[in-house]
Amino acid sequence: MIHFDWAWSFLALPLPYLAYLLIPPAPRQNEAPLQVPFMQDFESYSTDKVQRSGKLILLLALLAWALLVFAAARPQWLGDPVELPVSGRDLMLAVDLSGSMEVEDFQLNGRLVDRLSATKAVASEFIQRRNGDRLGLILFGKKAYLQSPLTFDRQTVSTLLNESVIGLAGKETAIGDAIGLAVKRLEKEAVNSRVLILLTDGANTAGEVEPLKAAELAKQYQLKIYTIGIGADEMIVRSIFGSRRVNPSADLDEKTLSAIASETGGKYFRARNTEQLNQIYQLLDELEPVDKETQSFRPTTALFYWPLSFSLLLAALIVTLRIASRGRI
């Protein structure tokens, strides 16, 4: 259907007629007559031509004015209503960028990769599946930084995650600060939809807030935290003295991560390889959504340029006719 955004513009339609009634006509200039033998026939011919040309020009001018007013009313074509999928979840992702994330104990497509690369690959797919949720991104190391506020733009969040690099926020790990920042960013959102997914491979070694204190604060603001401990249990390290097996996740503080999740009503997950990490994110897909009122919008297409274009064409035609009529006279 057609909708006029500025329908009040149609009040300007009678302006030319009001101007005709209220403004006195311009005085005619007296010109010296041209004396020719057949002056009477010439005047009759000229008068008929001028009258016909004047009526046509007046008609075109009124039509051009009507089209101009039509364009000023901003006509728009309204499409059918489109419902927006809104599940009501506000998910904040907190990803560890500390130095230990560069340990290559994960496999991706048949080759060894560091922990952050595996996280990017799995989390990016998780982000793309979050249709209807608002997502935010926190990156933390020695400090915690808000990389993206809550947004429906999943592509931007995925891009910002993939552009992150190890050590960007420092080499240490500030888990408590990351939780505190999430609380600050989510405290004004709907109570039953606040969720933080925190991924780390170590223990809290920096920051001003202790993780368990931050968890207590998160509980007060009803922020549910799902924690993910990432890192293999063992890997082979080769040196000039031979090969030996080590535990690359010896610094992972699973006790604290589990306590954080338990305190806030979430859950702790352990990801020792890419497959387990992917399974964890698939489980997170099953988070219960919060029902909200359905939102919808109607796509609009502007149409004002059509009447405006025709009005300008008519104006050009009027000028051409006036020039032509004066040339014949």
Distance separating alpha carbons of residues 259 and 211, to the nearest angstrom: 9
Burial 53-77 (b: 16+ CB within 10 A, else e): beeebeeeeeebbbbbbbbbbebbe
CATH fold group of domain 85-284: Rossmann fold (3.40.50)
Looking at this protein, which amino acid is placed at residue 28? R
Integer Cα distance of 217 and 223 in angstroms:
9
For 91, other C-beta atoms within 10 Å of its C-beta total 24
**In whole angstroms, what is the distance from residue 258 CA to residue 276 CA?**
17
Predicted local confidence at residue 232, as pLDDT: 82
> What's the pLDDT at 236?
63
Predicted pLDDT at 93: 92
Instruction: Tell me the whole-structure pTM to 2 decimals.
Output: 0.61
**How many residues are there in the chain?**
329
pLDDT at 104: 84
47 burial (CB, 10 Å; 0-12 / 13-18 / 19+) is exposed
Q: Terminal CA-to-CA distance of the chain, rounded, Å?
A: 49
CA angle, 131 then 135 then 140, to 5°: 145
> What percent of the residues of the chain are helix, what percent strand, and what percent coil, each to the nearest 5?
45, 20, 35
C-alpha closest to that of 178 among 143, 205, 202? 143
pLDDT at 283: 80
Give pLDDT tens digits along the chain (329 positions): 788 888 899 999 998 888 888 888 767 655 545 454 544 554 554 555 556 777 888 888 899 999 999 999 999 988 777 765 555 678 899 999 988 888 887 888 878 888 889 889 888 888 888 877 889 999 999 999 999 999 989 999 999 999 999 888 888 899 999 999 999 988 877 666 788 999 998 888 888 889 999 999 999 999 999 999 888 877 666 666 666 666 667 788 889 999 999 999 998 988 888 888 888 888 887 765 545 555 666 778 888 889 999 999 999 998 888 887 765 55
The DSSP letter of residue 141 is: S
Looking only at the bridges linking them, the beta strands covering 224-230 and 194-200 are: parallel
What is the reported pLDDT for 42?
47
Please report the pLDDT score of residue 46 as a whole number.
53
Phi-psi region at 122: left, alpha or beta (left = phi > 0; alpha = psi -120 to 50) = alpha
Cα 221 from Cα 186, distance rounded (Å)? 9
Question: What is the predicted pLDDT for the residue at 130?
Answer: 81
Q: At what angle do helices 274-284 and 115-128 cross, to 10 degrees?
A: 30
Sign for the CA dihedral angle at 194, 223, 187, 127 comes to: negative
